[in-house]
């Protein structure tokens, strides 16, 4: 009986796991002028899930390498990764691992779980994960979310300057007029989205989706975090010059200041 293409990929992925090498079927060999394919560090303790998701990722030609919790922290700091995929249902792996990984690396983290409440999901995002995906999910949705996170991470330059605000995307260091400003992971994530669309109005729905994912939060949560960004990054938070509200629509991060700007909350 002839095997399907997906079956061949799954078999090759199993072989790759045993060999400890990244998947490559030989049809997409990289030349010196090509952009390196994304590398994904996959933290998963269940062999079946590791093999099935690994096979799905292999169809997009991602370089994937698996690791345990302790090993993952070392690899995140010593080996190039473009994304960390972390299954929180893995025994011995908890949200504290996200904190440990974030202390060593600023690579985007996508957390997976089948057992987390909405409150737990918020905590996962607040301590440093960039996205949360609830199991079970389809392969098309899974790949779309991986692509979205990688795409967002690749858009911004390393250093971004908006007026008197300086942001280093890699180190997540933010300064206002030269003084370091400490942002929470969620505040920084919201700032990143606004930076990608500088001088453009971003709708509330888009901001809620990109920062909190499919958790169903409303505009009130977004208003709270926008207020916090203004408190930390505006010289006069009551008269913002950069973080502007487009009433009834969304928010805009202005790269310049003007006396004509009107703030409406």
What's the first-to-final CA gap in the chain, in angstroms? 65
235: confidence class by pLDDT, cuts 50, 70, 90: very high
Eight-class DSSP state of 32: T
Q: Which range, 149-153, 211-215, 244-248, has the best average confidence (pLDDT)? A: 244-248
Judge residue 98's burial from the number of C-beta atoms within 10 Å of its C-beta, 0-12 exposed, 13-18 middle, 19 or more buried. Answer: buried
User: Which of residues 214 and 201 earns the better pLDDT score?
Assistant: 201
> Nearest Cα to 163, choosing from 180, 178, 181?
178
> Nearest Cα to 199, choosing from 145, 148, 158, 160?
160
Q: What is the chain's length?
A: 265
**Domains of the chain by range and CATH?**
5-155 (3.40.50.2300), 159-253 (1.10.10.10)
Least confident of 11-25, 34-48, 207-221: 11-25
User: Which of residues 85 and 47 earns the better pLDDT score?
Assistant: 85
Q: Is there a cis peptide before residue 3, judged by omega within 30 degrees of 0?
A: no
Helix, strand, coil distribution of the chain in percent, nearest 5 = 40, 20, 40
Phi-psi domain of 188 (left: phi exceeds 0; alpha: psi -120 through 50; beta: other): alpha
pLDDT value, residue 70: 73
Within 8 A by CB and 6+ apart from 71, the residues are: none
Residue 91 reports pLDDT greater than 60? yes
Q: Encode pLDDT of 151-191 as tens digits.
A: 877 665 577 888 889 998 777 889 999 899 999 989 998 99
DSSP strand pairing (243-246 vs 250-253): antiparallel
109: confidence class by pLDDT, cuts 50, 70, 90: very high
pLDDT value, residue 21: 39
What is the pTM (predicted TM-score) of this model? Answer: 0.58
Instruction: Tell me if 79 sits within 8 A of 101, measured CB to CB.
Output: no
Q: Which range, 36-45, 94-103, 172-181, has the best average confidence (pLDDT)? A: 172-181
């Amino acid at each position: 009986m002839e095997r399907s293409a997906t079956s061949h990929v799954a078999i090759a992925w199993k072989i790759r796991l045993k060999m400890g090498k990244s998947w490559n079927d030989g049809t997409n060999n990289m030349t010196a002028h090509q952009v390196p394919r994304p590398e994904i560090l996959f933290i998963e303790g269940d062999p079946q899930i590791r093999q099935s998701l690994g096979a799905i990722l292999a169809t997009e030609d991602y370089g994937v390498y698996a690791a345990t919790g302790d090993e993952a922290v070392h690899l995140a700091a010593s080996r190039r990764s473009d994304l960390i995929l972390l299954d929180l249902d893995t025994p011995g792996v908890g949200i504290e691992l996200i904190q440990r990984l974030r202390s060593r690396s600023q690579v985007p983290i996508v957390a997976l779980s089948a057992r987390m409440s909405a409150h737990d999901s918020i905590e996962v995002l607040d301590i440093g994960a960039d996205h949360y995906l609830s199991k079970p999910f389809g392969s098309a949705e899974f790949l779309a979310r991986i692509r979205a996170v990688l795409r967002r991470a690749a858009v911004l330059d390393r250093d971004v300057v908006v007026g008197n605000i300086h942001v280093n995307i890699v180190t997540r260091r933010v300064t206002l007029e030269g003084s370091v400003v400490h942002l929470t992971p969620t505040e920084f994530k919201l700032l990143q989205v606004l930076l990608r669309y500088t001088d453009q109005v971003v709708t509330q729905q888009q901001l809620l989706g990109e920062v909190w994912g499919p958790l169903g939060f409303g505009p009130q949560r977004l208003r709270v975090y926008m207020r916090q960004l203004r408190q930390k990054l505006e010289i006069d938070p009551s008269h913002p010059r950069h973080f502007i509200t487009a009433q009834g629509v969304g928010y805009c991060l202005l790269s310049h200041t003007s006396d004509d700007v009107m703030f409406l909350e």
